[in-house]
Structure 1
Amino acid sequence: MELPFFPTLFSAVKSFVVKQAFFPTLEDWLVNHPKIREFSWHNGQTPGSSQRFLTLTVLSYIAFTFVLSQVSRPSLTRPVLKSISAVHNIFLLTLSFIMALGCLVSVFSQVPNFNTLVCFPRRTSPSGPLFFWAYLFYLSKIVEFMDTLLIILSNSMKRLSFLHVYHHSMVVIMCYMCIDSVQSSFPMVLFTNCVVHVVMYTYYLMCTLGMRPKWKKIVTDFQILQFWASFLIMAMLVFYHFTGSGCSGILSWCFNSAFIISLLFLFSDFHAKSYSPKVKGN
């Protein structure tokens, strides 16, 4: 049993894209490269794949964030801090774009239909191009801890909210679980998140360079829209799971669902407090 509209749309878009002259070149770079095609996730063997590494990484992030926010910190000159922030934002902006493109090309090259995209068959192996990009995505979330350090070094402590620390620490756990449990539908979540991050880090870069874009609200709007899209994706996963032979990683789906619900609530609360007419009036 299939959902209406989405499978047809996926097939039409895939057919159109793979016929374009640029697609074979992108496929060679982002799918068929030996390091990408031959990637395989092995718990405890692949760098960063052990539960001990995950636990120590997240706890260290939380501990260092708390300690650095409480003690006196070395002050960096504004030009130095600005340069570090610019390099950081350019790096994550570029990486997010490459991951989004790599995931999209891998989907069109490797995934036969929409059903498989949403619902990986049981006993799917975490190997190949899609899982390479998922692994890089997981590692990028650790690199994003640098966001917190830059906030602390710039003494912008108002930006160091519970939402910020909670989001950065828990998303690493979510990404780890997606790979380790071969979470169905993760390519769509990866793609939408990377697109949002391209917009977000573009905004941060412009601010770092002294510009003041007037579309800050759009960044938060995009993040909230991403969560609603995730709900749609998760709902389709459940549909295919219970109307077919089952989907891979359904247990980790429960954790992801709870996490995304909490993020939607927190981001919506942030949106209301930051952009409501009363706040603007003040």
Structure 2
Amino acid sequence: MLSEVGSNVLKFYDYFLKRTDPRVRDYPLMQSPVEMTVILLGYVFLVLHVGPRFMANRKPFHLNTAMIFYNFFMVAYNAYIVYEFLMAGWGTTYTWRCDLCDPSSSPQALRMVRAAWLFYFSKYVELLDTMFFVLRKKHSQVTFLHIFHHSVMPWTWWWGITLTPVGGMGSFHALVNACVHVIMYSYYGLAAAGPRFQKYLWWKKYMTAIQLIQFVLVSVHISQYYFMEKCDYQVPIFIHLIWIYGMFFFVLFSNFWIQAYIRGKRLPVSNEDKPKQNGTTTLTEAVVVPNGKHLENGTVHYTNGFAHNGKVKEV
């Protein structure tokens, strides 16, 4: 009985591999879903269990230099992805309506394949976002929304670009997501660069709104499929999945918007990773000012006592 089940599983696996798009088989991490699944399961286990235990009795790492390099690298990487998507169809031949996948080996079709793989690979690079949170002990940032988004995106995109001809209206959400990441990582990079750049971060409050606009654009664009008289998109199941994905994340980010900006609530934080104004990180050393006071990111500490009713009592 078990041998028969195993045989059927292997037959299905072989049938599945034969159905994969031959144009992406030679790209890294595209030969089998096993490597991709192992990496993502390892990511979840690492950031939820191994990382927090490793950091339990350690001070947060100060990774400003690494974060600046990483964030501005991601700005350049996502800007290149946007350019490639535009040149591969979205800025040249696509109608932005019922755009079908091109299964050929034409230069433009192969360029779309490469752009799609670059976007897919960027989802693995983005896993470092969570690693920075863990090493800096920003545990309040490692939320369900964060983990779910970072682990599901590469997993679903692997199936998307292996089982369907790459491109068409099903790749619009990748173009929009890459545009949003150019903005998002620009903000992160400037925030990590230090207090002197805070004056350039006045648009922090619009970050969640930009995310919401992203999901609205994706959902509206993909919804066209349901109102067209005829659209012979080759794999319609991915149209449905993209619509569900867009609406699901719109609901999650809307809930965050309501809790954070309408009800004035924030995610629970501990003293060690309390968010600083405009996303700046804690200074490594206190800044000394007259009268024995120390300023640490705007917080006043008294060196020789504590304040009570406007007076300083000696310890």
For Structure 1 versus Structure 2, the TM-score category normalised by the shorter chain is: 0.7 to 0.9
Give percent identity, aligned residues only.
21
TM-score norm. by structure 1 comes to: 0.75
Q: Name the residue aligned to 1:119.
A: 99
- Would you say how many aligned residue pairs link Structure 1 and Structure 2? 234
Counterparts of 2:54 and 2:39 in 1: how far apart (Å)?
23
Larger radius of gyration: 2
Cα distance in 2 for partners of 1:259, 1:109 equals: 24
Task: Tell me which of the two structures has the higher relative contact order, counting C-alpha pairs closer than 8 angstroms and 6 or more residues apart.
Answer: 1
Alignment of 1:31-180 (within 5 A): 41-43=23-25, 45-49=26-30, 50-73=32-55, 75=59, 77-78=61-62, 81-107=63-89, 111=93, 113-114=94-95, 118-120=98-100, 124-125=103-104, 127-180=109-162
Q: Cα 1:129–1:109, aligned 2, differ >3 Å: closer, same or farther?
A: farther
What is the TM-score when the length of structure 2 is the normalising length?
0.67
Could you tell me which residue of structure 1 aligns to residue 230 of structure 2?
243
Q: Report the CA distance shift for 1:76/1:279 in structure 2 as closer, same or farther (over 3 A).
A: closer
Task: Spell out structure 1 runs of 4+ moving beyond 6 A.
Answer: none
- Give the drift of 1:175: 2.1
Shift of 1:256: 2.4
Among 161, 165, 179, which residue is 1:182 paired with?
165
Structure 1 residues 145, 174: CA separation in 2 closer, same or farther (over 3 Å shift)? same
When residues 40 and 101 of structure 1 are mapped into structure 2, their CA distance, relative to the original with a 3 A threshold, is: farther
Question: 1:195/1:52 Cα in 2 relative to 1: closer, same or farther (>3 Å)?
Answer: same
Distance between the aligned counterparts of 1:137 and 1:56, measured in 2? 20
CA distance in 2, matches of 1:191, 1:109: 11
Unaligned runs of 5+ in 2: 1-20, 267-315
Q: 1:259/1:52 Cα in 2 relative to 1: closer, same or farther (>3 Å)?
A: same
- Does the 8 A contact of 1:119 with 1:237 survive in 2? no
Q: Which has the higher strand share?
A: 2
Taking the aligned partners of 1:146 and 1:196, their CA distance within structure 2 comes to: 18
2:184 maps to what in 1? Answer: 200
Equivalent-residue separation in structure 2 for 1:118 and 1:189 (angstroms): 14
CA RMSD in angstroms comes to: 2.5
Structure 2 residue corresponding to 1:273, chosen from 251, 255, 259 = 259
Q: Distance in 2 between matches of 1:77 and 1:71?
A: 15
